[in-house]
Amino acid sequence: MTRAVREVWPDGQPVFVRISATDWLSDRDSWTVAQSVRLADRLAEDGADLIDVSSGGIVPESAPETTGPNYQLPLAERIGEETDSEIAVGTVGGITTPQQADAVIRNDRAALAIVGREFLRDPYFGHTAARELDATDRARAPVQYREWVH
Ligand SMILES: Cc1cc2nc3c(=O)[nH]c(=O)nc-3n(C[C@H](O)[C@H](O)[C@H](O)COP(=O)(O)O)c2cc1C
């Protein structure tokens, strides 16, 4: 699948693949982080540039130990450490402030900090972040939005 996407996607544009790194079901046969490491190797071979590491929440009795700040970052870090490939690894989960996202990148804990629900709370989160991190000169917005966001 990734190979098919890579074939039609422009060479200069990255291919991201979102994965659920584990089902959090240690009491039964299910998807594990070790399998995700091997999946990362294969996705890299097929031309993926980045994996976006989430995890399963679809089985009611499954649960990560925490769903607090950066709760899925340890999964991304482990995959980044153990993959044999050069694939970039992004993290998502419980990132709610610009400073938190910035720290993930500055401390080299993941290649990309991805934000989900905070964009529902603040649809302008990207620009909120640019303002708070003093980086509005690097934030690009459609022309129609510029008066709103600067
Ligand atoms: C109730 C719930 C169930 C989720 N289930 C899954 C899942 O099955 N697979 C997955 O990859 N991510 C799952 N996620 C994670 C989300 O896709 C997303 O990564 C998550 O909201 C973390 O980003 P955020 O904290 O910035 O919103 C779930 C999140 C929530 C809140």
Using the structure block, give the residue that is written with the tokens 């459609």.
142
The rounded Å distance from CA 57 to ligand 1 centre is 7
The rounded Å distance from CA 51 to ligand 1 centre is 15
Among 21, 36, 15, 129, residue whose Cα is nearest residue 72: 21
- 66 CA to centre of own chain: 17
Per-position pLDDT tens, the chain of length 150: 889 999 999 999 999 999 999 999 988 899 999 999 999 999 999 999 999 999 998 888 887 888 899 999 999 999 999 999 999 999 999 999 999 999 999 999 999 999 999 999 999 999 899 999 999 888 888 888 776 655
The pTM of the whole model exceeds 0.85: yes
Closest residue CA from atom 20 of ligand 1: 93
107 C-beta neighbours (distance < 10 Å), count? 8
Closest residue CA from atom 5 of ligand 1: 57
Domain positions in the chain: 2-115, 117-150
Locate the ligand 1 atom nearest the alpha carbon of residue 21 and give its number.
11
pLDDT at 149: 58
pLDDT at 139: 85
Question: In the beta sheet, which residues pair with residue 85?
Answer: none
The rounded Å distance from CA 56 to ligand 1 centre is 7
51 C-beta neighbours (distance < 10 Å), count? 28
d(C-alpha 66, C-alpha 52), whole Å: 19
Candidates 2.70.98.60, 3.90.1150.10, 3.20.20.70, 3.30.950.10; CATH matching 2-115: 3.20.20.70
